[in-house]
């Protein structure tokens, strides 16, 4: 089955064939770790996670190499840990520490939070995750090559890339020279040409600094664009298969990356295919702090299960603009809940312990191979969900397809299906506990630090104890005597019914109804005697 991807450079969908059939290589620009990642940052992480999963599946199927040695997929996503924004945040958060130490604290904390957040979005770790500060040597080698080739020059202790003479410059972003000149003016550095860009710059006092290339005596640090060129070269070579990222990086970042890499190595191209995901808006508006609609992944995970965020992302094709709304979040959560209920109805709660798998459905892979058409893949899943019925094979196949897309985890589905028990407990406890549970459900599902302990303490103060079911749901145990009062009233009502005192029987029923208790009168299947059970009225 051929994989077709839209190439930003040619603006065409092309059949993808790796340069090396035994090693598919993909590089994606990762986070700059100075703050919590916002929901816009999550989009490329999720998009290229799906592509990574698809590439691994096709490699396993022998699509590109049918030999004994299985094709491997190398996915590199960098971390930018040297940047002006990081310096500013470090000085703000740790004013009493030396700047370099403060920077280490900020990047360590923010990197850890990024990994925790994207894991909850169902994303796999990339094959390699290089940090910029660990690859300064490679950056300086690239810069030295460019200086030697006269594609870079030194001015006022800066090293700048010389754009003039690079005929293909601007071809990737499809932008006019006039537009690129106006966009380049924001960079503060001495230049011979407005389009030239910084490869290396002198460090200010206290900032991170390394010995400079090109014989510059002043210690300095790299520019932004050279970082990705150096790290992709280190792990993927001079030319590789796929370069990905958000459309906001197309110019100047990716345009400049391409220019400097191609010129350094005398290659026609840096990557065979350039893949970019579209912009994200929040409730129809551009996300910004000034509008008050700036939302981080971390904030959303306090309220929503990670799979819900992922599903809303995948509902829109990666190249299209995405409008992030609460209404779509509610819809995504309801759909996931419905899917889990359908699966557990057929496979039971024990599915959480099962390792049973099936092959990923051909219909799902076919949709994804059409330029990563996730809306088409979800349409296929929705039809599969309707066909489950009472068939265990269909239910298992559907679950495995969901897991392939990172939408469900069989070991943690209970809280998605609103698993909340405690029949036979005090109505007052159950009603109050359920309200608390609803506010904690996503935190418990996402296993956020401290959520379980806080939830248990809140329930304990109500007079209950929490018992976690094996499938991830919640069951309550009563710790006071209110249940005894309900059982006594039911016993008195049973006696009244036996002597046909319907007035007293109805009075007790009404009293229990005011307590939030719903009665159900049946007969014991063995003795035929009247039997009354109760539950919390909904």
11's tokens:
């603006």
433 vs 494: CA distance, rounded Å: 29
Predicted confidence (pLDDT) per residue in 413-422, tens digit: 877 766 777 7
Q: pLDDT value at position 15? A: 97
Helices in 121-199 by DSSP H: which ranges? 136-148, 177-184
Predicted confidence (pLDDT) per residue in 361-379, tens digit: 999 999 999 999 999 999 9
Looking at the chain, the domain(s) classified CATH 3.40.50.620 span: 4-277
Residue 15, strand partner residues = 4
- CA 8 to chain centroid: 24
Does residue 287 have a pLDDT over 80?
A: yes
Specify the residue for token string 């199927």: 61
Given phi > 0 = left and psi -120 to 50 = alpha, else beta, which region is 6? beta
Q: What is the mean pLDDT of the chain?
A: 90
Does residue 472 have a pLDDT over 90?
A: no
Superfamily of domain 4-277: HUPs (3.40.50.620)
Q: pLDDT value at position 429? A: 75
Q: pLDDT value at position 185? A: 45
437 vs 454: CA distance, rounded Å: 11
Q: pLDDT value at position 102? A: 95
Does residue 290 have a pLDDT over 80?
A: no
SS3 state at 4: strand
Crossing angle (nearest 10°) for helices 255-265 and 136-148: 70
Does residue 428 have a pLDDT over 60?
A: yes
The pTM for the full model equals 0.85
Cβ contacts of 84 within 8 Å, gap of 6 or more? none
Task: Report the relative pairing of strands 285-286 and 280-282 from DSSP bridges.
Answer: antiparallel
98 vs 88: CA distance, rounded Å: 13
238's tokens:
């001079």
Predicted confidence (pLDDT) per residue in 397-414, tens digit: 999 999 999 999 888 887
Cβ contacts of 284 within 8 Å, gap of 6 or more? 323, 325
Does residue 234 have a pLDDT over 70?
A: yes
Predicted confidence (pLDDT) per residue in 181-231, tens digit: 655 544 667 899 999 999 999 999 889 999 999 999 999 999 999 999 999
446 vs 467: CA distance, rounded Å: 18
Residue in 369, 361, 420, 362 with CA at minimum distance from that of residue 395? 361
């Amino acid at each position: 089955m051929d994989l077709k991807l839209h190439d930003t450079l040619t603006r065409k969908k092309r059949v993808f064939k790796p340069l090396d059939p035994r090693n598919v290589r993909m590089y994606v620009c990762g986070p700059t770790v100075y703050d919590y990642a916002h929901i816009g940052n999550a989009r490329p992480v999720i998009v290229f996670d799906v592509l990574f999963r698809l590439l691994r599946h096709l490699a396993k199927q022998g699509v590109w190499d049918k030999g004994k040695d299985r094709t491997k997929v190398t996915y590199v996503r960098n971390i930018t840990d040297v940047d002006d924004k990081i310096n500013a945040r470090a000085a703000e958060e740790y004013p009493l520490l030396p700047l370099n130490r403060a920077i280490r604290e900020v990047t360590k904390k923010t990197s850890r939070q990024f990994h925790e957040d994207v894991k909850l979005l169902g994303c796999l770790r990339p094959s390699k995750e290089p940090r910029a500060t660990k690859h300064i040597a490679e950056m300086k080698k690239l810069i030295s090559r460019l200086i030697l080739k006269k594609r870079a020059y030194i001015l006022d202790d800066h090293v700048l890339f010389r754009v003039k003479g690079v005929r293909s410059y601007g071809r990737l972003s499809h932008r006019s020279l006039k537009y690129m000149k106006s966009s380049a003016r924001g960079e503060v550095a001495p230049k011979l040409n407005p389009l030239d860009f910084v490869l290396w710059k002198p460090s200010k006092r206290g900032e991170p600094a390394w010995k400079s290339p090109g014989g510059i005596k002043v210690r300095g640090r790299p520019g932004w664009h050279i970082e990705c060129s150096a790290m992709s070269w280190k792990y993927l070579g001079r030319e590789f298969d796929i370069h990905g990222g958000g459309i906001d990086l197309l110019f100047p970042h990716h345009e400049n990356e391409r220019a400097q890499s191609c010129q350094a190595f005398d290659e026609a191209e840096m990557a065979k295919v350039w893949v970019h995901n579209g912009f994200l808006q929040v409730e129809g508006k551009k996300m910004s702090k000034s509008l008050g609609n700036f939302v981080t992944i971390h904030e959303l995970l306090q309220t929503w299960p990670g799979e819900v965020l992922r599903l809303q992302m995948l509902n829109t094709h990666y190249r299209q603009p995405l409008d992030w709304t609460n209404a779509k979040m509610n819809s995504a959560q309801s759909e996931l809940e419905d899917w889990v209920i359908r699966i557990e109805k057929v496979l039971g709660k024990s599915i959480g312990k099962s390792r049973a798998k099936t092959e990923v459905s051909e219909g799902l892979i076919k949709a994804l191979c059409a330029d990563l058409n996730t809306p088409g893949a979800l349409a296929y899943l929705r039809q599969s969900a309707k066909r489950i019925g009472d068939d265990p094979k269909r239910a298992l196949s559907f679950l495995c397809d969901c897991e392939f897309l990172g939408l469900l985890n069989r070991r943690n589905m209970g809280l998605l299906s609103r698993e909340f028990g405690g029949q036979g407990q005090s109505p007052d406890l159950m009603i109050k506990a359920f309200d608390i549970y609803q506010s904690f459900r996503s935190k418990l599902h996402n296993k956020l630090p401290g959520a379980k302990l806080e939830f248990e303490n809140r329930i304990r103060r109500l007079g209950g104890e929490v018992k976690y079911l094996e499938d991830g749901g919640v069951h309550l145990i009563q710790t006071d005597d209110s249940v005894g009062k309900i059982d006594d009233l039911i016993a008195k009502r049973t006696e009244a019914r036996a002597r046909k005192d319907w007035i007293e029987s109805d009075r007790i029923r009404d009293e229990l109804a005011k307590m939030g208790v719903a009665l159900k009168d049946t007969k014991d299947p063995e003795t035929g005697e009247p039997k009354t059970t109760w539950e919390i009225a909904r």
